Chain A
Amino acid sequence: MRQAGTYSRILSGGGVSGRTGPHLLPLARIKKIMKKSSVDVKMISGEAPLVFSKACELFIEELTKRSWDMTIQGKRKTLHKEDVASAVATTDVFDFLIELVHRNAADHVDDVSEDHAP
C-alpha cells in the first residue's frame, strides 16, 4: 500500500531520517498487531501506527546490527537465526525477546544449507 507522496517527502526529509521514500511498513498491519496485543487496547489514534512504523525500523536496524556482529564473530557472511538469539541474549533492552527466540529455536532447525562456516 503506497502512502501519499506528500507525507513521504515531508516526513522522511532531512532532520528526522536520512532515508527517503514512504513508510517502509504497512500501517494497517501495525494497527492489527497493536490491537491484538491486549484486550485493553480499544482505540488507537492515527499517529500511533505511524510512530511504530518508524520505531520498528529503528528496532529492526538495531537488532540486525547486533546480530550481524555475532555473524562476524563467527566468521560467517550469512546472518542466521542463532545470531539473532545471541544478540538478544547480550542486549538488556531485548530481554523481552528471550523467550521468543528460544521458543523459535526449539520449534525449528535452522537451515544448514546456507553459507555456513565449517
Chain B
Amino acid sequence: MDDSTNNKITTGDDETANQQERLLPIANVSRIMKQILPQNAKISKEAKETMQECASEFISFVTGEASEKCKKERRKTVNGDDVCWAMGTLGFDDYAPPLKRYLDRYREVEGDRSATPQRNEEEGRPSSSSTQFDPNLKPF
C-alpha cells in the first residue's frame, strides 16, 4: 500500500487492468451498437466507452436488486429468475419476457442433459472446459 494518495501513482497498466475488469470489452459493446445502427452511422470512441460504463452500471443496478431479494428470502444464490424479476421491478419490463423465454430454453436444454436436482449451495466442479454451464450451480 502506498502512503501517498492513490492518485495515478500506480502504473498506468494497473489502472487499465482494473478498469477493464469492471467493464465489458469495448469490441463486443461496439458490435452490438453497430448491429442496431444504420450502415453509415459512426460512433465516437467516447460514446463506446460511455456505453461500456452504462452496461456495467446496468449489471450492478439489477444485480443489487436481485441480491436484495435473495437476502430477504434468505437465499445465498442469485439465480436467473432473480435477475429477471429484478429487471421487471426496475422498469425493464420489456426485457423480462424474452429473457424468461431465453432462460426457459436454456433450462430445457440443460435439464435434459443433467438429471441432478438443484444444489444451490454447493461448489460446482468445472468440467473439461471452463466455459461449461451447470444450471445447478456455479457459485462464485
User: Which residues from chain A sit less than 8 Å from chain B, CB to CB?
Assistant: 1-4, 6-7, 10-11, 15-17, 19, 24-27, 29-38, 40-48, 50-52, 54-61, 63-65, 67-68, 71, 77-81, 83-85, 88, 92-93, 96-97, 100-101, 104, 108, 110-111, 114-115
Contacts and interface: CB of A to CB of B under 8 A. Distances in A.
Nearest to A34: B63
Contacts of A43: 76-78, 120-121, 137, 139-140
A81 B43 CA distance: 9
A109 B98 CA distance: 38
B21 A32 contact: yes
Contacts, number: 242
B133 A34 contact: no
21 contacts: A7-B133, A24-B28, A30-B24, A32-B21, A32-B22, A37-B63, A40-B67, A40-B68, A41-B67, A43-B140, A47-B79, A50-B103, A55-B87, A55-B99, A59-B54, A59-B92, A79-B43, A81-B47, A97-B58, A101-B50, A111-B46
Given A10-B105, A46-B133, A50-B106, A93 B45 contact: no
